[in-house]
Structure 1
Amino acid sequence: MTTLAKVPVTVVTGFLGSGKTTLIKHLLANPNGKKLAVLVNEFGSEGVDGDILKSCADANCPAENIVELANGCICCTVADDFIPAMEQLLSRRVRPDHILIETSGLALPKPLLKAFDWPEIRSRITVDGVIALADAEAVAAGRFAPDPAAVEAQRVRDENLDHETPLSEVFEDQIACADIVLLTKADLAGAAGLETAKAVISAEMPRRVPMLPIVDGAVDARVILGLGAAAEDDLAARPSHHDGEDDHEHDDFASVVIDLPEVSDIDALVASVQQLVREQNVLRAKGYIAVSGKPMRLLLQAVGERVRHQYDTPWGTKARQSKLVVIGEQGDIDEAAIRTGLGL
C-alpha cells in the first residue's frame, strides 16, 4: 500500500566527537518498533561512521537503508547528493517509518533544513525534529573555542568586533537550531560540569528547549523521535550566524587521510595521537586500525586528547588496511608533520 503521509526525518547534529554515531547506534538497537533508515554525512573523503553503523544493521534497519555521503557537506551539495540520497531511501521496497540524518561535526543545520523545501521531496518528508548533541565535559571547559578567556577579553575591549572563532559559530548554530539538546558523556562531566554546560548552552539558546544528560547514547526513542516539529516550516525561530547568506564555507577546516601499516603497540599509537593533538591542534581523529595478530579491526576515535579504542568486527574478506582521518582547523593541519608524528 502507498500512503500520502510524510516520512518524518530527525536531524542529528553536534560538534566533532559529541557522540552522534553512538546515539544512532543505540536508536538502531532500540527503535521502538520503527523501521529506520540512516543518512550519514562525514567531513573528509574517508567515511568511518557509515561503516560503524552498517555493522549494526538488522531487520529494522538493513544495511541497504544506511546511506553514506562523504567528502562534502550535504547542505552544500543538495542537488548532487542530498536529494538523490533521500529519493533513494524513499524508493525502498519497504518504506522506512523514520529517517535519521547524521550530519558531519562541522555542518550547520539550518541550511540543511532549507533543503527540505525542494520540490522533489517537500511533499514526501518532514523534519520531525533537530537533535543537537553537546559534549557536556567539553562545553563546561569551554573547549568549543580554542581560548575562551582570550576571546572574551578581546570582546570586552572592542564590543563592535566579532571575535568568535569558527568553532564557536558552528557550536552556536547547532544549538540554536535544536528542538532537544542531549548533554553527552554526562558521567565524565559530573554534576557540577552538567550544571555549567547547561548554563553555557542556555545562554546561547534563542528559545527554551529541553536538555537531557545521557551516557553512551542511551535515550528512549520515544523521547526524541515523533516530536512533530516540522522544523522546515519553523526556520525563523532558529537563528544562525549565516542568515542572509546563500551558502556557507568549510574552508575554516581541513582533513587528511593517513594510511598506516599494521600496528603492534596500541598504547604507542594512542600516545602518538595524543601528542599530535597537543602539537597540531587536531580536533578529531578516527579510523580503523589493523593490529598485528588480531583478526578484528580496531576502531580508534579521538576527541582532543581523549582517545578511545575497541575491536568491533572481524576484517573478514576486507583488506587489512589501516586508515586514520585527522580533522583540524585550516592552517593547523600539517600532513607532513602528522605523518612524522605517527612514525611514517
Structure 2
Amino acid sequence: LFADQLASADLVILNKADLISPEDLARVRLEVAEELPPAVKVIEASSGRLPLDVLIGLGAGSEEHIDSRHSHHDHHHEGEDGHHDEHDHDAFDSISIELPQADESLLLDALTQLVVQHGILRVKGFAAIPNKPMRLLIQGVGTRFDKHFDRQWGADEARTTRLVLIGQELDATLLEAQLRAALSV
C-alpha cells in the first residue's frame, strides 16, 4: 500500500481476511492504521464480498466534502491533435422520475422492461410500497436489481417513489409514461 493513497482514502478494505489468522489480521490492521488519518474507516471483506451500502457509499457522507475531492475530470486529456478528448461517459443521460406508491413486483417488472427496451444502464432510488412503513431502496445495474427496506418513512415525508434512470439518449417523458401505465394495471 502507498502512504499517499491511504492518506487520501475515505475507506480501506482488507480483502481475503478469511485467509489469514486472526492474529495476522490484527497485525495488518495495525500496520494500515499507522498510515491512516483517524477519520478513515477500515473494513474487512472475504472473497471480495462487500455490503451494497459500502460499494455505493450510502451514508458515507462523502457529499459533505465532494468539492475538495479530485477525479479524472480535474485533469485535462489531450488527444494526438492537441485538442481535449471527450469522455464517453459524459454522454450519459440521468433522469429523475417521481411516481406514487407502487406495488413492488409491478414496479420491478416495469423497470426490467424499461431496461431491456431502452438500454437503461442503471436504476437507483426508492419506492413507496402500499401498507409498508419503510422505504424500499432500489439499485439496478442492467436487469439485476438489489432491493431492501432501508428506513422508516418520516412523519412529514411524502410517500412517493423517486427513481433515477441512467443511460444514453433517454426520453424522460416516454419512460415516465411507460412506468405510470405499467403501474396502473
Specify the TM-score bucket, using the shorter chain as the normaliser.
0.5 to 0.7
**Which residue does the alignment assign to 1:169?**
none
Provide the C-alpha distance between the structure 1 equivalents of 2:148 and 2:124, rounded to a whole number of angstroms: 12
Deviation at 1:36, TM superposition (A): 2.6
Asked if 1 retains the 8 angstrom alpha-carbon contact of 2:100 and 2:159, the reply is no
Deviation at 1:53, TM superposition (A): 2.1
Aligned-partner residue type, residue 53 of structure 1: L
Unaligned ranges ≥5, structure 1: 12-23, 38-47, 58-65, 70-80, 87-100, 104-108, 116-239
**1:297 is aligned to 2:135:** yes
Q: Secondary structure of 1:53's match?
A: coil
Q: Deviations over 1:230-262 (max 9, x none)?
A: xxxxxxxxxx79685546455521111000101
Deviation at 1:68, TM superposition (A): 1.8
Asked if 2 retains the 8 angstrom alpha-carbon contact of 1:272 and 1:342, the reply is yes
The counterpart of 1:340, out of the listed 173, 177, 182, is: 177
Q: Secondary structure of 1:68's match?
A: helix
Deviation at 1:319, TM superposition (A): 3.3
Provide the C-alpha distance between the structure 2 equivalents of 1:10 and 1:328, rounded to a whole number of angstroms: 29
**Which residue does the alignment assign to 2:49?**
none
The counterpart of 1:324, out of the listed 147, 163, 169, is: 163
TM-score, normalised to structure 1, is 0.34
Q: Deviations over 1:127-183 (max 9, x none)?
A: xxxxxxxxxxxxxxxxxxxxxxxxxxxxxxxxxxxxxxxxxxxxxxxxxxxxxxxxx
Provide the C-alpha distance between the structure 2 equivalents of 1:242 and 1:260, rounded to a whole number of angstroms: 43
**1:313 is aligned to 2:138:** no
Provide the C-alpha distance between the structure 1 equivalents of 2:127 and 2:145, rounded to a whole number of angstroms: 13
**1:68 is aligned to 2:63:** yes
Q: 1:153-302, aligned counterparts within 5 Å?
A: 245-246=83-84, 248=86, 251-263=90-102, 265-302=103-140
* Bigger CA radius of gyration: 2
Provide the C-alpha distance between the structure 1 equivalents of 2:127 and 2:62, rounded to a whole number of angstroms: 23
Provide the C-alpha distance between the structure 2 equivalents of 1:299 and 1:35, rounded to a whole number of angstroms: 27
Provide the C-alpha distance between the structure 2 equivalents of 1:258 and 1:25, rounded to a whole number of angstroms: 34
Provide the C-alpha distance between the structure 2 equivalents of 1:251 and 1:290, rounded to a whole number of angstroms: 31
Runs of 4+ in 1 over 3 A off after TM superposition: 24-27, 109-112, 240-251
Asked if 2 retains the 8 angstrom alpha-carbon contact of 1:262 and 1:291, the reply is yes
Asked if 2 retains the 8 angstrom alpha-carbon contact of 1:242 and 1:248, the reply is no
TM-score, normalised to structure 2, is 0.60
Asked if 1 retains the 8 angstrom alpha-carbon contact of 2:95 and 2:172, the reply is yes
**1:9 is aligned to 2:13:** no
Aligned length: 143
Asked if 2 retains the 8 angstrom alpha-carbon contact of 1:111 and 1:247, the reply is no
Provide the C-alpha distance between the structure 1 equivalents of 2:129 and 2:12, rounded to a whole number of angstroms: 24
Q: Deviations over 1:30-62 (max 9, x none)?
A: xx564238xxxxxxxxxx99x9622xx6xxxxx
Provide the C-alpha distance between the structure 2 equivalents of 1:6 and 1:283, rounded to a whole number of angstroms: 30
Name the % identity: 31
Q: Secondary structure of 1:287's match?
A: strand
The counterpart of 2:58, out of the listed 20, 40, 53, is: 53
Unaligned ranges ≥5, structure 2: 15-28, 42-52
